[in-house]
Amino acid sequence: MLTTVTVMTIVTIRDIDDGTYDEFSAEARRQGKSIGTLATEAMRAYLRAQKPEESEHTISGLEELRVSKKDLEDGGIEVNFFEIQKLIFEDDVDIDVFEKFVESIFECDEVDLPGQLPKMRVLVKCRDCRVHFRKRDT
């Protein structure tokens, strides 16, 4: 018979913004969880997000990659793009397809995107990348 033991640590965290803590605490109550349980879940989610290369749906280590709307739709899965020197999204990639199939873009040297994509909705998926939006055709 196997026994699982979970080790818990008592910690004090300094310098947390009062408003953020109040919202977090209210969310824990709303979910019927302790603040510690919700904080542990948040920490785990944060750590997972820092390691996109460990995802099973990651494309990485390429010099250049061109991605079209058809490529994303044919793949049918959310993809992480990681450590690609030059990542180019073709002009046919629209925001609906981008948001549905691009989970994240991490540590790509250069990311070239169609100018019609809404910048803020795209940039929230990018981290540690040099991003360029091509001019729109008029």
Structure tokens given for 67 = 């991605």
User: Looking at residue 10, what is its pLDDT?
Assistant: 83
Structure tokens given for 64 = 């250049």
3-class SS letters over 22-67: HHHHHHHHHHCCCHHHHHHHHHHHHHHHCCHHHCCCEEECCCEEEE
- Asked whether the predicted pLDDT for residue 138 surpasses 60, the reply is no
The mean pLDDT of 53-63, rounded to a whole number, is 81
CA-to-CA separations, 90 to 51, 77, 98, 117, in angstroms, rounded: 26, 18, 11, 11
Name the pLDDT band for 13 (thresholds 50, 70, 90).
Answer: confident
Are residues 99 and 71 both part of a single domain? yes
Are residues 68 and 23 both part of a single domain? no
User: Looking at residue 132, what is its pLDDT?
Assistant: 96
Q: Mean pLDDT of all residues in the chain?
A: 88
Range of the domain at 81: 53-133
Whether 79 is in a domain gets the answer yes
Are residues 35 and 76 both part of a single domain? no
Are residues 109 and 66 both part of a single domain? yes
Whether 88 is in a domain gets the answer yes
Q: Considering Cα of 83, then 86, then 92, then 95, what sign does the dihedral take?
A: positive
Are residues 58 and 109 both part of a single domain? yes
Whether 10 is in a domain gets the answer no
Are residues 45 and 58 both part of a single domain? no
Q: How many domains does the chain have?
A: 2
- Asked whether the predicted pLDDT for residue 118 surpasses 70, the reply is yes
Residue range 77-106, pLDDT digits in tens = 999 999 999 999 999 999 999 999 999 999
Are residues 43 and 62 both part of a single domain? no
Are residues 63 and 116 both part of a single domain? yes
Are residues 43 and 97 both part of a single domain? no
CA angle 124, 38, 45 (to 5 degrees): 40
Are residues 89 and 120 both part of a single domain? yes
